[in-house]
Amino acid sequence: MKSINLNISFEQYNSIEELNEKDRELCKLSEQALTSSYSPYSKFRVGTAIQLESGEIILGSNQENLAYPSGLCAERVALFSIGSSKPDAVIKSMAITAQTDAFEIVQPVTSCGGCLQVMAEFERKQASPIEVIFYCIDGEVLKVPSVKSLLPFGFVEDRLGAKA
C-alpha cells in the first residue's frame, strides 16, 4: 500500500481591490454577466467571464428551465460558446461570481462537479492551465492556478479519443 497526500494551492484575497488590474476587470465582467442570467426558479444568478489568449472576453450566465435538468450553469454556457464558435481558442483565465436577492452571499461560490469536468476537458484539450477566480461580490476572492487543483481526479480516458 502507498499513502499519497494531495496539496491544493490557491490564493485568498479579502477583496478584488487586492487583485491586479486584469483580474479585477475579469471579476467586474463576471458581475456584468449576471444581468443575462435566466433564473426565475432559483433566483440564484451566476455569471462568468472568460479571458482568451487573444485578449477577447466571453461572458456566460446560468440559464434555467422549468424542466430543471434542461438548464445550464454559467461556466458551461460560456465554455460551450467558445467551443462552438472558437474551437482553437486558448483560455487563459475565468472569473465566476453569484448573486441572489434571497440572502447575502458571504463567500465565493465555487463551480459544480459537472462544470469542473468541462473546465478540465478544456484545460486538457489546450494543454495549458486555466486560472480560475471565484469572486464574492464585496467580499473574499479565491484564485487557483489551474483546474487540476480543483479536480485532481477528473475523468480521463485517452482511448475514447483514439483513432482506430
Which sequence positions are flagged as catalytic? 75
Angle, vertex CA 150, rays to CA 33 and CA 128, nearest 5: 80
Q: What is the DSSP string of 89-144?
A: --EEEEEEEEEESSS---SPPPPPHHHHHHHHHHHHHHTS--EEEEE-TTS-EEEE
- Residue 158 DSSP class: G
